[in-house]
Amino acid sequence: MEKNGIEVVIERAEQVLRGKNLPTRTNKFKTYAITNFRGGIGKSTLSFNIAYEISRKSQCLLLDACPQRNFSQNIFGEQLSDFGKTIYDALIGEITNTTVPDYHDIVARINPYCPSFVGGQPSYMIPGSSELFLFPSLLYSQLAQYAQLGGEYQKNASAKVLLSLKTIIENASNIAKPEKVLIDTSPFFAGVTHLAWCAADALVIPVRVDQHSVEALRLTLDMLRKKNNDFAKFNKQAGLASVPKVHAIAMTHCGWNRQKANTPDSSTTFFVQKSLELSLEYKDLFSEPEITDCFYLLDDFHSSGRISGKQRIPLSKLTEGQKFIVDGQRLEVNPSVDRYKREIQNLTAAL
């Protein structure tokens, strides 16, 4: 008897937790944006851990496109304030046709700042900026002005703006020589998230197992598909037709059945099922013909997630029982950390 979608996803998650090697994904891409339309789900901690796992085998370039700068903080710590030039300066230079900073001033080698990355492949990052909070108004006022132009002038000027982050990645790649590029975005679309979608080949969408996050997933998929939404509308103005593929839905904060090992609890199963059903309505947006191939279940990381983000230590380098002081609290790496490692490594292997 053929298994249904939720059964396939749960069986694969069980195999991951048992340490089995799963078949590799059919399609892989170079540039990924980690994106969602809801905050507070640990997106930047997820980005940090995925970046670490990628860097074990591949040279990578990381970009922080979120004004909260959590991803940058995870990499640079207190030394983040030492950077005089950031992704914001590069974007302003590209969009306004003014001076673009020397890329050697904004592309930083990670190892000297984050010892956890030592031992992997050369990795680089362009740090984020809190000034990105103001960026949407500049972006859309520019695009509104160019909409008044005619023909090729309108198209070329608009394309230069919308492809500005892609241009920054291309220029930074002369220094970083990345095999993979990872962009952490903000939990709203307007501004640099729009540019990240224009630059990315594919998206990784974290979805917490709750109703608000499932609705946020619907909004994200709507933005990708509907022609009257800002993404398609402004891209049409610029003559841009490409849409990033949805490559992974990472279901976060999953809970597990205490009576049946490696089986999601009823609440988690319900929201994974809802997300699967929703994704089937947007099947054309996904990178695989089988939607279940794009679903990944991630534990609720509990104290280990907080420790990983705040202490700037990847989950793969934590061991059960280690103790840390985080925000004045004494936290201990919980016993499930080995499960987390398998889940993160399985997700990263798909990229």
- Where do the structural domains in the chain lie, given as residue ranges? 5-349
pLDDT at 263: 83
* Amino acid letter for position 37: F
Residues 261-290: pLDDT tens digits?
778 899 999 999 999 999 999 999 999 999
| pLDDT (0 to 100) of residue 1 | 42
* Cβ atoms within 10 Å of 78's Cβ, excluding its own: 8
Cβ neighbours of residue 114 closer than 8 Å, sequence gap 6 or more: 74, 75, 76, 77, 312
What pLDDT, on the 0 to 100 scale, is given for residue 301?
A: 82
Say if residue 111's pLDDT is above 80.
Answer: yes
Task: Note the pLDDT tens digit of each residue in 237-246.
Answer: 999 999 999 9
φ, ψ (nearest 5 deg) of residue 142:
-65, -45
CA distance 337 to 199: 34
Contact between 42 and 251 under an 8 Å Cβ cutoff? The reply is no
> Phi then psi for 64, rounded to 5 degrees?
-105, 105
**Ranges 3-7, 103-107, 299-303, most confident:** 103-107
What CATH number was assigned to the domain covering residues 5-349? Answer: 3.40.50.300
Quick count: other Cβ atoms within 10 Å of Cβ 32?
A: 25
C-alpha 262/C-alpha 13 separation (Å) is 8
**Coil, helix or strand at residue 143:** helix
Q: Is the pLDDT of residue 73 over 60?
A: yes
Residues 13-70 have pLDDT tens digits of 999 999 888 888 989 999 999 999 988 778 889 999 999 999 999 999 999 999 999 9
Yes or no: say if 185 and 191 are a contact pair by the CB < 8 Å rule: no
- Whole-number Å distance between alpha carbons of 194 and 161: 11
141-194 pLDDT, tens digit each: 999 999 998 889 999 999 999 999 999 999 999 999 999 999 999 998 889 999
Per DSSP, the three-state class of 200 is: coil
Q: Is the pLDDT reported for residue 2 higher than 60?
A: no
Mean of all residue pLDDT scores within the chain = 93
The β-bridge relationship of strands 202-208 and 245-254 is: parallel
pLDDT at residue 258 above 80?
A: no
Residues 180 and 171: their CA atoms lie apart, in Å, by 15
Strand pairing report for 31-34 and 180-185: parallel
Question: What sign does the dihedral 223-224-228-232 (CA atoms) show?
Answer: positive
For residue 7, how many other CB atoms are within 10 A of its CB? 12
Q: What integer pLDDT is reported at residue 101 of this predicted model?
A: 86
Q: How far apart are CA 325 and CA 1, in angstroms?
A: 51
Question: Residues 52, 303: contact at Cβ < 8 Å?
Answer: no
Gyration radius from the chain CA atoms: 20
Decide: 264 and 252 in contact? Cβ < 8 Å: no
Q: Average pLDDT, stretch 251-260?
A: 85
132 within 8 A of 64, measured Cβ to Cβ = no
312 — phi, psi (to 5°)? 60, 40
Widest Cα–Cα separation across the chain:
66
How confident is the model at residue 344, as a pLDDT?
A: 96
- Band (333; pLDDT cuts 50, 70, 90): very high
**DSSP conformation letters of 315-343:** GGG--TT-EEEETTEEEE--TTHHHHHHH
Residue 281 CA to residue 277 CA, distance in Å, equals 7
Query: pLDDT, tens digit, for every residue of 112-121?
Result: 999 999 999 9
Q: Is the dihedral of CA 184, 188, 194, 197 positive or negative?
A: positive
- Give the pLDDT score at 100: 84
